[in-house]
Amino acid sequence: MKSRSGGLGDIVVTLLLLLIGSGLIYGNTINRPVGQQISDALEMPVVSIGLGVVLILSVVLRWVGGFRKKKETFINFHSEDGSVGISTKAICDFIERVGKEFSAIKNIDSKLIERKDSVDISLGVKVVAGTKIPELSQILQQRVRESVRESLGLEEIRNITIKVQEIVGDPTKPATDGSPVVE
C-alpha cells in the first residue's frame, strides 16, 4: 500500500501553492495589472514572509508525511472460538518460504490483494533457465494455495497470479519425469 501524507494540512497547503502559482502565471502572462499588484504585495514584508512560511511549511509537511510508518494490515477470519488476524507481511513471508522450496525458483516476491471476501495472491518470480514455466506455475499455484489453506487457515483465495520477472543462469538438466524440481 502506498503511503500518502493526506490530511487537511496537506490539502490546504496544496491549494495555497496552486493559488499562488496560478496567480503568478496569470498576472505575468494574461493580465499585467494583476501581476503588478502581486509584485507590489510581495514587496511588503508581511506578505513575503507569509509566502515564505507557506512554501517552507509545504516542504516540511511533505517530508513528515512521507516518513510516516505504514500501518500494518491484517487479514481477519473467524473460527468457532473467535477471530484470528494474520498480518499481510507474515502471510507474504510464509508464501515466499513455500516458493523457495522449488529449486527452479531463484527469487520470489509476493503481494496480497485484499478483496471483499477473498484474497488474491500475486507472485513475482525469477526462474532458472530451462525450467518448464507452465508446469512450474501450475505446481507452485497448487502448493501455495494448499499451504496457505492448511497452515494459515485462509480458505478464500480467489486467484494466484504468477509473473515471471526474469529467467536466470544456465539451463539445468531437466528432471527425468519432466516436472519442476522441488527440494
Banded model confidence at residue 4, pLDDT cuts 50, 70, 90: very low
Give percent above pLDDT 70 in the chain.
Answer: 84
pLDDT, tens only, 37-50: 877 887 887 877 77
Strand partners, 107: 126
- Cβ burial, residue 1 (10 Å; 0-12/13-18/19+): exposed
Q: Round the average pLDDT of the chain to a whole number and report it.
A: 82
Report the side by side order of strands in the sheet with 119-128.
105-114, 119-128, 157-168
pLDDT of residue 171: 66
- Flag the least confident range among 73-82, 100-109, 166-175: 166-175
Q: How far is CA 14 from CA 22, 51, 114, 156, in A?
A: 12, 13, 31, 41
pLDDT per position as a tens digit, 141-177: 999 999 999 998 888 899 999 999 999 987 655 554 4
Q: What fold characterizes domain 74-168?
A: Alpha-Beta Plaits (3.30.70)
Provide the pLDDT for residue 1. 36
As a whole number, mean pLDDT of residues 86-90 equals 92
pLDDT at 89 over 60: yes
Domain ranges within the chain, ordered by starting residue: 7-66, 74-168
How many Å apart are CA 118 and CA 140, to the nearest integer? 19
